[in-house]
Structure 1
């Protein structure tokens, strides 16, 4: 009996064929799983949900955008015609004033003294005139008598000539006195005008919007009239002074409607009308703009002078037209051939259908459709979403 070393049982190994089948089975399982995932992924990517907007009928407006400042229609500068110390103020900010109402008083004593001096000087010159008129009457009588006596050879010719010369001198003196009195009257009138100028009065009915002086302040009007008050004639009627770029000014005309907002009332839209397109250009850093004045009603007094306004001037407007969103004209489905001319894609029975159109006015939000097989209520495609939920941007044509 032949013995085995160690007396153990020999090791058994699986056949090579069994191992091969096990490997093939694993590969088949992995392949089937991969094909299933690919089919699931492709089916997810193939699901498209179209984003649509309704074709509507309404208004299309083309507008020019500008910024401006709210101001009263007319603001009057009230200054001082004479120099002096402000003695008293009668008007302040927001004071409602009438024509001729005193707003401030300059110390009048200096100007009252000038008036008194001219009155006294006129009185002196009037007295001199009266005296010289009496002398003229005496000279007249003397001259007449001496001329008669000279003709009778009762007096010498020299005496008669002296009487005549005295008469003519008194005549000239009276004329001089009368001219001096006229000069005094003119000087007195000027002094009285300056005295009246010490009362600063409102030249118009309106509202004080600015006060640039205080009591005790000295104003000097020698070289330039100082500004004391700004008075708005009627704050119930305001205007917006806007700066329109030269590229847009050609479309703006008098009478165009305009809408604007101000920072103080961002949710309120104010309505106005273009009153004037001024021909004077303004150039700032090589940018040319033109001043366009928009009139606006301010009966409720909510608009204040100096407010900044964002203005839209409507240059072209059409109502009752068929319109589509601008995105509809920019959208093309994936895989669709590029077409010539404008077209939109309409969703019909769940499928996109191309509809050629002719476009008109565009207000940067909607576009007018002047011709094409579109009716209000049609659903035009403006974009799409894939099955993953990620929106596909509308491609540009």
Structure 2
């Protein structure tokens, strides 16, 4: 490690010596700096994801009885109310089953009445010891059997009536029909899996987005955070929402782990439709009214042209000190790379003079970075430079030297 530091320090010193040598040999160009101002404003840290729009409540309407579709009262995009008729199944067979159950119930009711009277008569005779116990037991058994058969027939009638009611299919919720899977005359069979006839979405003016967040980012996501998203159908419109749920169940696809979050998505204009893909930006951190500069200022490094001017403008007593600081910056910046808040170096322009300045940064959204310490509002920070050739090199001055004022 020590050997590596010695090598790096040697390279930096040699580079500085070369820069000074080049400056002494060439002095025929001017440097034009591009700057940005330190300003106050908001800064946000975001993560991006994709998701799918869906209705908050979607109900699949099926049938619990088999038969032929006789009537369909709604179509795609129809607005329905809870309890509204949406389809009818032919009731011929079901009505016949009701009549058969009623007849069976009447027959069993008559049998029950007869056996009840017989039981009461035999019971009275048995209590008076007129008939043997076997006659009493036989009458009791016949009465109980008739009673059970009557109750069974009554249950069968109730089931037949229920099936007849099931032939009338109504909307279970208020909403809009987004799917119709049957036509008039089609036969539907209700078995173990109830066939889906319609899909009804409840109130498309209030929708939600189910988004997939990478496991590396899910730790930053919390309920209530602001979300903005766009859809391909309206690329120029930005829709807003907020996170209402973070689900704990992991989704693993080809060894990639994601987690689903649910985003509230108001849709008063009804532009959003179920199934649309949403391109999402989640604002995980927001700071307001802070000092900030362009992030590219942190990436600016002076060229040889600038460095030779900078060192030539310094007194001999300061050159060694500056060289030491430059080496320290080089080692510290590599060790502190990636920290949310760290000290780093920027170059500040003040009139015709420029100099490096140590600053402490905060949140960085990729375009702007928060300045915690080291700069003041209105400071000009260098973000780039252009080299302008100048044939009259004798008039060129270093940007690090103080301005000269002519005496009047």
Q: TM-score scaled by structure 2?
A: 0.76
Match runs of 1:318-337 below 5 Å: 318-335=287-304, 336=307
Match runs of 1:298-337 below 5 Å: 298-335=267-304, 336=307
Deviations 1:255-284 (A, max 9, x none): 111111111111111111111110111111
Deviation at 1:146, TM superposition (A): 8.4
Alignment pair present for 1:83 and 2:84: no
Match runs of 1:263-302 below 5 Å: 263-302=232-271
1:146/1:334 Cα in 2 relative to 1: closer, same or farther (>3 Å)?
closer
Moved more, 342-351 or 186-195: 342-351
Q: In 2, distance between residues paired with 1:245 and 1:146? A: 87
The alignment partner of 2:204 has SS state of: coil
Deviation at 1:224, TM superposition (A): 0.9
Structure 2 unmatched ranges of 5 or more? 1-25, 308-322, 330-342, 391-408
Alignment pair present for 1:58 and 2:41: yes
Structure 1 unmatched ranges of 5 or more? 1-41, 148-159, 390-397
Q: Could you tell me whether the CA contact under 8 Å between 2:29 and 2:389 is conserved in 1?
A: no
Deviation at 1:298, TM superposition (A): 1.3
Q: Which residue pairs with 2:222 in the alignment?
A: 253
Match runs of 1:130-145 below 5 Å: 130-136=113-119, 139=122, 143=125
Q: Could you tell me whether the CA contact under 8 Å between 2:62 and 2:195 is conserved in 1?
A: yes
Q: Could you tell me whether the CA contact under 8 Å between 2:50 and 2:211 is conserved in 1?
A: yes
Alignment pair present for 1:180 and 2:181: no
Alignment pair present for 1:236 and 2:205: yes
Deviations 1:224-277 (A, max 9, x none): 111111111221211110000000001111111111111111111111111111
Q: TM-score scaled by structure 1?
A: 0.78
Q: Which residue pairs with 1:26 in the alignment?
A: none
1:137/1:65 Cα in 2 relative to 1: closer, same or farther (>3 Å)?
closer
Which residue of the other structure, out of 336, 345, 348, is the alignment partner of 1:346?
348
From the CA coordinates, give the structure whose radius of gyration is larger.
1
The alignment partner of 1:235 has SS state of: strand
Alignment RMSD (CA, Å): 2.3
Q: Which residue pairs with 2:186 in the alignment?
A: 217
Deviation at 1:171, TM superposition (A): 4.1
